[in-house]
Amino acid sequence: MPLVGGSRAERMTLRTLIFWPHLVAGVVAGAVILTMSATGVLLTYERQLVAWSDSEFQSTPPAAGAARLSVEDLVTTVRRDHPDVEVGAVTFNSRPDAPVSITAGRQTIYADAYSGRVLGEGNQGMRAFMSDVRAWHRWLSVEGEGRPFARAITGWSNALFLFIVCSGFYLWFPRRWTWQRVRPVVLFGGSLRGKARDFNWHNVIGLWSCVPLFIVVLTAMPISFPWANALVYRAVGEAPPQQGGRGGREGGSGGDRGESRTSQEPPSVAGLNALWTVAEKQVSDWRTINVRIPASERAPVVFAIDKGDGGQPQHRSTLTLSRATGEVVSFEAFADQSLGRRLRSISRFAHTGEVLGLPGQTIAGLATAGSVVLVWTGIALSLRRLRAWVARRGKRQTEVVEARDASAA
């Protein structure tokens, strides 16, 4: 694909062949892309906003250097004071003032890490808002039987968006490499109005955001389509995982669910302290450790250890210990995973920019905000083009009628 060189006719033909599908794709999928982009901006700092909404919950050390409650003591205290709370999982944070996060069904409850006192439930308003925004982002908030169709619409709209970004990269190249031609593509014009302003914004924002936007849109493909998800693995010569493949681990921790349902006693936490000590030593610089309390005393205990900020899979590891002997059943760090699994994990969090931490989220958010302007200015330019075409057609028809009348006279 020649960007420079060749005859003017060849360049114009190639540009035209790319431009019209670019325009049509934008018009066809514009409304859906605009919806996904706007909701994507709102989701940029989702984890941070949820944490901020829960920031009132803090642990209070009774003295400098005081030790936290052990996992067994904390769960026992919460169960004693709140028998209605079914503790399913516990997450400790390494910060001295951080509360302990308790998963109880669909609830997130916080407790003081030093006393076990329940501080309250996580902010439901923020969680509900983010859930609604996510529903619009992923399936246009369609519920019930229509959701798969809505997911297909957002998925294929994202595919069209990928084409728009790629084709736009070529279209943004000026026909002549002079500063007079390059400047409107790389710098904003402050005094521009109307079509010139829309054209300038569309090109400048498109040029500066094309690389991060390409990554954001490309990494949404495996999320949207099973075949794209499988392609990530096949590209590196691996067989894609079977649907529901994670059930093996979950089944190991909950294989006696029938027994737990008939029993009135909550799952035992006996022996978790010794296992927790092993988990802390396994990754010394951990930031959070999560343990799901197995329903059966015969099931292994799985610890999810994170030394990142919560959205960086390269800093996560999983430790599985035998509850009976305390021996390591398995330890899997990010580097221990297959290349396909690593690529899939990275792509998932590259979509939100979280893989690079807060700077990555900010870049992804700015690129997504830029896509809102790209869609808006693209549609505006298309409407201006349509109005100009209608006006030219009307003018030609008028000239034909006038010429016919003149010849008849």
Reported as a single tens digit per residue, the pLDDT across 337-380 is: 999 999 999 999 999 999 999 999 999 999 999 999 999 999 99
Per-chain mean pLDDT for the chain: 89
Rg (CA), the chain: 28
Residue 303 in tokens: 């610890």
How far is it, in rounded angstroms, from Cα 262 to Cα 287?
Answer: 37
Secondary structure of residue 338 in the 3-state scheme: coil
Secondary structure of residue 245 in the 3-state scheme: coil
HSE-up of residue 389 (Cα within 13 Å, Cβ side): 6
Torsions phi, psi of 44, nearest 5?
-55, -50
How far is it, in rounded angstroms, from Cα 76 to Cα 293?
Answer: 12
Residue 259 has pLDDT above 80, yes or no: no
Taking a C-beta distance cutoff of 8 angstroms, is the pair 87, 71 a contact? no
Q: What DSSP character marks residue 20?
A: H
Reported as a single tens digit per residue, the pLDDT across 58-105 is: 999 988 888 999 999 999 999 999 999 999 999 999 999 999 999 999
Where does residue 335 fall: left (phi above 0), alpha (psi -120 to 50 degrees), or beta otherwise? Answer: alpha
How far is it, in rounded angstroms, from Cα 231 to Cα 228?
Answer: 5
Q: What DSSP character marks residue 389?
A: H
HSE-up of residue 253 (Cα within 13 Å, Cβ side): 17
- pLDDT at position 63 is 87
